[in-house]
Amino acid sequence: MKTFEENLKSIPTAEKTVLLRLYNQRDELVSIIPNIPGRQGSVRVFKHIAEKKGVIDFEAAKEGLRIFEEKVEDARKNPGKHQKLELLLGMKSSAILRIENVECSCPDLLENLSGQVASAEECKVFIDLLNQGKIRAAEKVNNNWEPQPYVIDGVLNYFGTHDSKRMEGKYWDKIPLKTANYTDEDFERGGVRYAPGCMVRTGAYIGPKTVIMNLAFVNIGAYIAGEGCMIDGGARVASCAQIGKNVKYGAGSGIEGILEPAGRLASIIEDNVKIGAMCEVTGIIGEGSVIASGVIMASGKKIFDEDTNDFVAPLECVVGEKNFLLPVIPPYRLAVGGSIPNKKGTHNTDAVILKAGDLRDSATMRHFEKQGILYD
């Protein structure tokens, strides 16, 4: 039996591949393989077996298992140890995996960013990928949000390779505005309305049919999916925060960002969420939820569910030896500000209250469907 390293020598390299995304037949994202140390062999194998047909079918999977032969028995004995290999082991005869290959002009880009040794030119390529939404700080894989630490590594690397300089005539900074050099054609092609006075830093992705209102601020690494997003006046979207499609994000509200530690999950607002004015978001807000004005989500703050008469468990995010607990609001719930008695019963303490019921067929959800003209 040949070793995995010996088999790798028989297939093409993949230095210009940034990452691979694998989708099942329902077009659900089931795996991301970034081209970083420890994953580079898998990137080469999956790219190679998908190249003939553009997808991975049963026959392509068998070719992949031939290359991985040395590791197959260990994968069978230890479920979860070789997750990418297990995708091939689990392929049925009629199954197909669609593969998205994100490439760039710089060899080994993510490896250099992760090692904080990328050049200024490599950082520029990285920023272009962020601007286009081709990479992002968190992605939903198999219905679970996963941090992508190399994005935060890249942002920090960018700061280290760029000096502050004069911008817009009166500012002194390292990060220019995303639209600083936009032509009319760039604005038209992007499909985004940028109202006077808003500020969007380069390295933020803003999807089509988004409105960024006056005095709103969007930081580097943020991702706004668009398709009906409204970021209202004075709202703040911090570094690497993630906002889904068709989100109404109220005036003066803020969502927490993340730059350190790199492995911690960013704060996330899923699709079809309505955030009232003057809210603060830390953690994850599930699809279709409505957050009343003035609600403050913060680490350690209790979220009480009237449906279950119990508290909602936070999401645990482990980075090295540290544990971070991120507040979670489940999908299709109405969250309001409130208070609950403390354990000793001596006083009440602030809490987020989830009102009883499901919003799936609410008037708010139906209203979302009637506002398309605002985003053209």
CB atoms within 10 A of CB 42: 22
CB atoms within 10 A of CB 78: 10
Catalytic residue among 64, 207, 257, 276: 257
Angle at alpha carbon of residue 162, lines to 238 and 130, rounded to 5°: 45
- 33's enclosing H/E stretch is strand 29-34
**157-160, Cβ contacts within 8 angstroms, sequence gap of 24 or more:** 157/112, 157/113, 157/116, 157/117, 157/118, 157/123, 157/126, 158/123, 158/126, 158/127, 158/203, 158/220, 160/116
CB atoms within 10 A of CB 76: 13
Active-site residue flag, 232: yes
Active-site residue flag, 257: yes
Catalytic residue among 122, 153, 227, 232: 232
Which pLDDT belongs to residue 367?
A: 59
Q: What are the residue ranges spanned by the domains of the chain?
A: 1-103, 169-375
Active-site residue flag, 197: no
Catalytic residue among 280, 283, 288, 305: 280
Mean pLDDT, the chain cut into blocks of 10 residues (376 residues total) = 90 94 95 94 95 90 93 90 90 90 95 91 96 96 93 93 89 93 95 96 97 97 95 96 97 92 88 96 95 92 93 89 90 93 78 91 62 57
CB atoms within 10 A of CB 206: 27
Token pair for residue 374? 């605002």
Class of residue 140 by CB neighbours under 10 A (exposed 0-12, middle 13-18, buried 19+): middle
Token pair for residue 276? 């009232």
Contacts of residue 149, defined as CB under 8 A and 6 or more positions apart, other chains included, come to 114, 262, 263
Dist. CA 254–CA 249, nearest whole Å: 9
Which pLDDT belongs to residue 195?
A: 97
CATH of domain 169-375: 2.160.10.10
Dist. CA 330–CA 127, nearest whole Å: 32
